[in-house]
Structure 1
Amino acid sequence: MENKNILLECESGISGDMFVAALLDLGKEQEDLQKGLETALQSLPLPGFTIRISRVKKAGIDCCDFDVIVDKEHENHDHDMAYLFGHLDSDLEERHEHQAGHEHHSHHEEHHGRTYLEIKEIIQKGTLTENTKELALRIFAVLGEAEAKAHGTTLDEVHFHEVGSVDSIVDIVSAAYLMDALKIDRVYVDTLCEGRGTIRTAHGILPIPVPAVSRILEAYPITISRVPVQGELVTPTGAAILASICDFQKAPETYQIQNTGIGAGKREYEVPSMVRVLSILPSERSADTIWKLECNVDDAPAEELGYCMDKLFAAGARDVHFIPCMMKKNRPGTMISVICSKEQIPTMEDILFHETTTIGIRRCSMERTVLPRKPRSIETAYGSLQVKECTLPDGTIRLYPEYDSMRELAEKTGKSMLEIRKLVD
């Protein structure tokens, strides 16, 4: 089976169970996919549970629905909802059920929460492929780091409460298993929509997006669009999955749709709760293109140029560099080169005109070849290190350590940047 490129359409947000359902729907023609998932999940050392896969309709559209049913309990109709509301007293829980339009049941045996190391042990003991284990742990690491930052602690110390419960572990492991079983290579996100307002939690009223989600969006280049829906559309698990699998490149402008999967959500808002996954084959004529803007200046102080570079990067420039050049009348000058997307051109040009003395900007589009890449976390002798995994045309994998992560580890351990980099070589 050849690797797939998929495009996620998240106009109604995303949660863990929605994503799993969409992938199951995408691979519904693949023999033994569901049976393989059930076998993988049964290998985990978790309390008794079953999964239920069914068909439902959202706004008249046929969708796949994925549920995790924990023994001796009712269904958890929204796997991330308990994370938000904690263990509510019966009066508050009843008020929330009426407000949200669906049942909510807390998992009392999970009240203590699980640490990242406990979850890691559960996943490692399962009969799963290495790719599945690695992706599942990466998703939990993203989630844990966001939780730790939100609560002012560390990944090793943070306790996953409801996102560490049985059904949430099943959601994340299922997502990782299906990504591997379907041989999904590159993941693009079209639009990630999030609602507005606030949400009541066990700790009070919190703004949307909730802290864990906002920390994930802060740490990864995921762009959201706020839509006029009063309620949460993007859950912590959904955001962590996106951060762990996305290619963070613009989707091809032209492509052929090979297959479609639609996963149903549990919440009822003004928009139908579902996420759509398209398996796409990029057109040969849809090359990956970027734009280069250039201008020359010979009368700008270095301080002003440095400030201009900061503003360009803050506005989303892919790259900015200065090149010494010889200009008219034998004056030394600087060529400013900015790499950006077509949509960013007006913003970049506005910054160049306002922050430099240039009176003209050249621009051209360029095709480029980009290696498939994805972010991942690796365990080293000194702790976790964020790297970029790139695949060469011959299939060779290269790891490139992220500067900020190397710096953080160097400062934490007292080791040099050179020693930290050698951990990846």
Structure 2
Amino acid sequence: MSKKTLYLECYSGISGDMVTAALLDLGADEAVLRKALASLPLDGFSIKISHVKKSGLDACDFDVVLDAAHENHDHDMTYLYGDYHEHTHEHHHDHEEHHADAPHGHDHNAHHHEHRGLHEILDILNRAELTDRARATAVRIFTILGKAEAKAHGATLETVHFHEIGAVDSIVDITAAAVCLDNLGIDEVIIPALYEGTGTVRCAHGILPIPVPAVANIAAAEHLTLHITHAHGEYVTPTGAAIAAAVRTSETLPSAFTVEKIGLGAGKREQELPGFVRAMLICPTSGFHTAQDTICKLETNLDDCTGEALGYVMERLLAAGARDVYYTPIQMKKNRPAFLLSVLCLQEDIPAMEQIIFAETTTIGIRRTEMARSILTRRLRTVQTPLGCAQVKECALPCEDSGTPETRCYPEYESLRELCRANGCSYQDALRTVLKELVI
């Protein structure tokens, strides 16, 4: 049986409600979602599922509506923008409203000042009527979000208490996304990049830069690719980033594929970019598990730079986003021994790379070459070992037929280095230990 592959296109950001709306538009069972959300031991919310117009396109809208007791303390718009309450869409039609059942005996006014921690949220999920897979997905999303918020506030995962993860609408958004993914039977999720805006945002803690700290922390910890656009405003929310990090299995699209179905999920904010997530069920058109793109190579010959300068420029280039930097010994005119500096980077990074090379070396010219490349489908996953957790890169080798492709795993160097430091063992010992735990 072939795997169901979901491609989430996030060219104008990502948020929890946008993901859920896109999945509903893709065909997730609304009745299943309503039943799951009604089982949450939470009061004070209802959901609205409708269709709206965004940039002239018909899109699904998923809205968590809070009652007066929760609105001023939990709602995402208030959390981010103080007294901003405008939730406008153009041309709403076919609205449906569902009020969550309230058999739990909660006083709607009793907990509106509560800042929930991860322990309380996991208890909520454990008490809800969710499938094991949906619950596990929701737990992973909340854990990723919790770690990011803990880092931002100098707390620990066990002690952090904050608005976003404890907000009723955030709990509903994340649970809804997990339920819809499970209901659609998604096996693989491809998210190449998250597109974010620029500027600052006012939140409960003051003025923060965009991407906000929680989003930046998630991107760093989970190796998400961020693409900063010229649009002003916040397009990637912490909830959206956490969902992307939790469900993504690859950032590389197959070189060719067919689209089986499309879902469009609308966002609430009216900003420069339209604000929606497009979800596509895709099917690769060949048995090769590779993708193709283009990459640029910058080169320059250096015969009068010191070894210290060459080492430093390599560090700066890699820190600025170069995919690879290397030196090749060469012989130049007048029998001078020299080095060929080669830098692999994306086309949009060329100006930054060239600025560093000109500033840090003695070169007066840089050559450019654009090259096509094939990339194996890969994903990062965590492996539990006797020495601790280690990250490994899992790659699928090309196969000519429709059979199961061969998979290879490569331990990540930085992860192995941390195991060595934590356990006082050699690199080779750490490598052998991790390789023993890999099931290929």
TM-score interval for Structure 1 and Structure 2 normalised by the shorter chain: 0.7 to 0.9
TM (norm. structure 1) is 0.74
Q: Tell me the alpha carbon deviations over residues 182-229 of structure 1, each in whole angstroms, 9 at most, x when there is no partner.
A: 42524235662436444252x444444433234334554312224145
Q: Tell me the alpha carbon deviations over residues 335-364 of structure 1, each in whole angstroms, 9 at most, x when there is no partner.
A: 433222234345434544554455563635
Letter in 2 for 1:47: L
Q: Aligned residues: percent identity?
A: 47
Give the one of 260, 265, 268 matched to 1:266: 268
Equivalent runs, 1:224-373 vs 2, <5 Å: 224-228=228-232, 232-246=234-248, 249=251, 257-269=259-271, 272-280=274-282, 287-324=292-329, 333-357=338-362, 361=367, 363=369, 365-373=371-379
Cross-structure match for 2:105: none
Q: Name whichever of 390-399 and 340-349 sits farther off.
A: 390-399
- Does residue 27 (structure 1) correspond to residue 27 (structure 2)? The answer is yes
Cross-structure match for 1:188: 191
**Closer, same or farther in 2 for the Cα pair 1:334/1:414, shift >3 Å?**
same
Native 8 Å contact 1:4 1:186 kept in 2: yes
Letter in 2 for 1:152: G
Cross-structure match for 1:222: 226
Say what the alpha-carbon RMSD is for the aligned residues.
Answer: 4.3
Cross-structure match for 1:81: 77
Provide the rounded CA distance (Å) in 1 between the counterparts of 2:35 and 2:52.
24
Native 8 Å contact 1:78 1:266 kept in 2: no
TM (norm. structure 2) is 0.71
Provide the rounded CA distance (Å) in 2 between the counterparts of 1:7 and 1:146.
22
**Closer, same or farther in 2 for the Cα pair 1:123/1:396, shift >3 Å?**
farther
Equivalent runs, 1:18-57 vs 2, <5 Å: 18-27=18-27, 33-38=29-34, 40-41=36-37, 46-47=41-42, 51-57=47-53
Provide the rounded CA distance (Å) in 2 between the counterparts of 1:419 and 1:364.
40
Native 8 Å contact 2:250 2:378 kept in 1: no
Provide the rounded CA distance (Å) in 2 between the counterparts of 1:227 and 1:400.
38
Provide the rounded CA distance (Å) in 2 between the counterparts of 1:159 and 1:206.
19
Provide the rounded CA distance (Å) in 1 between the counterparts of 2:75 and 2:381.
24
Q: How far off is 1:237 after superposition?
A: 0.6
In structure 1, runs of 5+ residues without a counterpart are: 86-92
Cross-structure match for 2:4: 3
Q: Name whichever of 245-254 and 113-122 sits farther off.
A: 245-254
Q: How far off is 1:316 after superposition?
A: 1.6
Provide the rounded CA distance (Å) in 2 between the counterparts of 1:257 and 1:8.
13
In structure 2, runs of 5+ residues without a counterpart are: 89-107, 399-403
Q: Tell me the alpha carbon deviations over residues 152-197 of structure 1, each in whole angstroms, 9 at most, x when there is no partner.
A: 1222322243423443223223323433434252423566243644
